[in-house]
Amino acid sequence: MTSPEEVLATVRKAMSSGDLESAESALRDARKRWKKEPEFAVRHANVLVKQGKHGQALKVYRKVMKKSPERLDACIGAAECAIQTGKGKLAEKLYSRGIGLGLSLDDATLGIARSLVIRSQHHLAWEKAIVQFKSSGNKSKVLHGLLKEISPQTGISVPSLDQFDTAIIDTNIESVRRGKPDPRLAENTFAAGSFEAMAGVDRATLVESGELPTDDLLDVTGSGGTSLGIDLSALQNPPEESHSPQVDISSQIQNVENNDVQDVVDIDINGGPESADDSSEESAEPQSEVRSTNEDPFDDWPDI
C-alpha cells in the first residue's frame, strides 16, 4: 500500500526530472484517494498551472476553498487562474477575500487592479493602484511597475519610486560571476575574448587531456628547478649548523673576581690617613662629653 510520503517522493522525483505528466497523474490519483487532505489537491493544481491548464487548475483550487476556506495559497492560485482565463470579476472577489486571509495590501491591490485592466478599466485600476502606492510611501515596486504599465493608457505620469527605505532588494544576480569554476568543465567557450583565450589555453590541452597545466607548476625536478624557473635547491639540503667558538666561562669569572679584589685593596690603601683622622676625632668627642657630665654647678655652695 502506497503511503503519502512515497507519493510525494515520486512527485518530487518526477518534477526534478521535468516529467510533469507523471507528477500530474500521481497527484490526481492521490487527490482522489485522500480526499480529506487538501495538500494533494493544491499540489495537483500547481502542476496543472505549470502545464498551462489554468481552467482545470481553477476548478481544483475552488474545490479546495470549499473544503478548506482558510487556505490562502488556494485563494491566490484561484485568483491568478481567474485572471489567466479572463474572469476579472471572479479574480477581484478572490483577491478581496485574500485580504481577510492575510494577503498583503500591495499584492491584493495589484491583483484587483489587474482584474480591472483585463476588463479595460484602466482609469479605475490607476486610481486604486495610486492610492495604495502613496499610502505605502512610494515604496512598492510591484505597484510602481503596474503604474508604468498602464500609464500610456491613462496618460498620467508615474510618480517616482522611493528606493532609500525599500525593504525588498533586487535578487537579479544572474550576471554576477561567483566563485572559480572548474576549468575542466566542457561549457568553457575558448572563444575570442574568453578567459581561456586570454590565458593562452586551448580545448585540446585543458579539456580533452584531462590535466591542468598548473598541476606540475611547482614540482621540483632533479636539478632543483621548477617549470617557473624558480631554484628550490636550497630548500632540499638541510641548513648547515653554525659552530660558534666555545668560551671558557670559568676563566672569565676568575678574571672578574681578581679585578674586584684589586680594586678593593687600592681603595683601602689610599684611604688610610683619612680613616686615622676620623678615629681621633671620634675618640676626642666622648672624653669632652664625660667631663661635662662630671662638673657639678653646686660645688661652691656651703653645706647646711
The CA distance from 64 to 37, in Å, is: 9
Closest C-alpha to 227, from 212, 205, 207, 209: 212
Distance between start and end Cα atoms, the chain: 148
DSSP reduced 3-state for 34:
coil
Closest C-alpha to 99, from 132, 57, 50, 141: 132
The CA distance from 209 to 177, in Å, is: 26
Give the pLDDT confidence score for residue 143 in this predicted structure: 92
The CA distance from 89 to 24, in Å, is: 29
Q: What residue ranges do the domains of the chain occupy?
A: 4-103, 121-163, 181-213
The CA distance from 138 to 149, in Å, is: 16
Give the pLDDT confidence score for residue 1 in this predicted structure: 43
Strand partners, 143: none
- C-alpha cell of 171? 535578487
Contact 72, 103 (CB under 8 A): yes
- C-alpha cell of 28? 490526481
Q: What is the pLDDT along the chain (304 residues), one digit of tens a residue?
A: 478 788 888 888 888 888 888 888 888 888 888 888 888 899 999 999 999 899 999 999 999 999 889 999 999 999 999 999 999 999 999 999 999 999 999 999 999 999 999 999 999 999 999 999 999 888 889 999 999 999 999 999 999 888 776 555 555 555 555 555 555 554 556 666 666 677 766 666 665 655 555 555 555 555 555 555 566 667 766 666 555 555 556 666 666 666 655 555 454 444 444 444 554 555 545 554 545 555 677 777 777 6
- C-alpha cell of 181? 569554476
The CA distance from 143 to 287, in Å, is: 119
The CA distance from 77 to 54, in Å, is: 10
Give the pLDDT confidence score for residue 177 in this predicted structure: 53
Q: What are phi and psi of 288, to 5 degrees?
A: -65, -35
Strand partners, 231: 225
CATH code assigned to 4-103: 1.25.40.10
How far from 90 is each of 52, 97, 105, CA to CA, in Å? Answer: 19, 11, 18
Strand partners, 225: 231
DSSP reduced 3-state for 144:
helix
Closest C-alpha to 126, from 138, 142, 140, 114: 114
Give the pLDDT confidence score for residue 131 in this predicted structure: 93
